[in-house]
Structure 1
């Protein structure tokens, strides 16, 4: 998740950064890169581009352009970025609705206040950042679950196929790796050594899944009934809008 903190008080920025790192660790959400800290609205706008950040924390009272003015300029370019105001007074709480702010935090705020603010951000945004940390591979980046199309076990390694045709090789037992992914209902064990992300499935035939990128993933004849039931259940729940936050 890409986060920017805009505040001209370094002590406040650092306190917020620590809260965010704690929250991200507890939620299993990577902050990639680390939160960007800027001391003015001008500094943010100088290099701002649509989709550059998922969430921006804006102090309202700053030297130069105010946080509210910054928010208005952001909304001229980006309507999806989540805005959370941080300030010492509730004076501008009503104005925050004008720019579609997700939350309004009055300083000093607690960690619990921050978690409430983050929960107001779209569930889809948080869900898309969901990941797993591979045991024994702390130096490697977390594995973003929704980037996975399917995985296959071969030569004592798991080859993870990702969106865009990229792959990642993970040295891990298939049983241990499968246990990590099958905790999420959108992953399906369709054949020995093969897992598929049902989000990427276009259709199911009698012998394979056809993915949205054209890839064919085999389905075990012995597992077919179970796999079909899981796929239909997933497809029905998603059609009804009942698939959020990793649960059916």
Structure 2
């Protein structure tokens, strides 16, 4: 499938580099550029595009505003957000984004995103959100997915529990379940995901019911999710024994 692509990015060198990488892919021979949201909307009014690779933080009309405009088109293009921050991932999912790439964009991830545009419905890559960027005041903390023992929903946020502490990020638990599922994260409860490889045992209590014990703490396991979790734990043990 030959795609017509629009790159929307206010930083010239970043925009040109992304466009160059895209034109190097066989699926995207036709790439146009826009230096901001307003320019993107004008271009979208002059022709149709199959995909828009869209920065989030731009002066004037930002990426989220452009995405909402795209949603109103009779034949909207696929939206791929390209941004330096993970903080907008949940909102991007709500806008129906096909993919969410973090800067600097790796060539293999860009190729995966283009493949998803060309073949709608393709599964998210297993390394999606392999590192979560957490903003804490003036500091930025990078949390590796493999260090997270379990995730707990807290309103519009998710608290990631690791052996060294917890981190609050603006993501939805359902989004994490989708992208971290291939990496071994399983729903244990309506408000919890647990990493199978960090579960040490299951413990039944009279007060709290079934609990999955991890080094970072205990996770409640609901009756609805107990069977699936036990099956995943058994499968992990069998795989380790081979």
TM-score calculated relative to the size of structure 1:
0.45
Higher strand share: 2
TM-score calculated relative to the size of structure 2:
0.46
